[in-house]
Amino acid sequence: MISATMQKAINNQIQEEMYSANLYLAMSGYCMSQNLKGFANWLRVQYQEETMHALKLVDYIMSRGGELEIKELAAPPTEYGKPIEVFEKILAHEEHITSLIHKLYDVAVQEKDVAAQIFLQWFVTEQIEEEASVAEVLEQLRMIGDKKSSLFYMDKELAKRT
């Protein structure tokens, strides 16, 4: 059985993961409107990952006999700037999500919920990978600067992400 405190904290994280999914879907649409289909693809895959994260949390609550609470989501912005600005925003958002995962893990420790601690370890590890993946793209964007031919090549590379 899951404690009320742990249940509430996980339900809050579900909301954050769904907002992340919507944010990346909005960013994908923005990139598509900028004729950056590879960047749009990279973000669409990210949208799918965030949705999977939320569902993983839903499944955990349900497997522990908890109650799912679906909360209203704020609408993400619609303008994001140049590709480098998009990825700066993504990195900042992933760092925010990492801090929330750490706080969620802290709740599991405070609640002495060993099962939740074990379950949440996957998310801790996942956030390391998420931040590294975004930082890699961001660093490449910094290297190419305003070189449109390099941006074109990078767009083609990002289109390969599945």
112: region left, alpha or beta (phi > 0 left; psi from -120 to 50 alpha):
left
- The stretch 110-137 carries a mean pLDDT of 98
At 101, the amino acid letter reads I
- pTM, rounded to two decimals: 0.94
Q: Given pLDDT bands bounded at 50, 70 and 90, which one contains residue 45?
A: very high
**Fold (topology level) of 4-158:** Ferritin (1.20.1260)
Mean of all residue pLDDT scores within the chain: 97
- Residues 110, 26: contact at Cβ < 8 Å? no
Residue pLDDT, tens place only, 86-95: 999 999 999 9
Does residue 142 have a pLDDT over 90? yes
Residue pLDDT, tens place only, 54-81: 999 999 999 999 999 999 999 999 999 9
Domain range list for the chain: 4-158
Which of 83, 88, 84, 98 is closest to 53 using CA atoms? Answer: 98
Residue pLDDT, tens place only, 125-136: 999 999 999 999
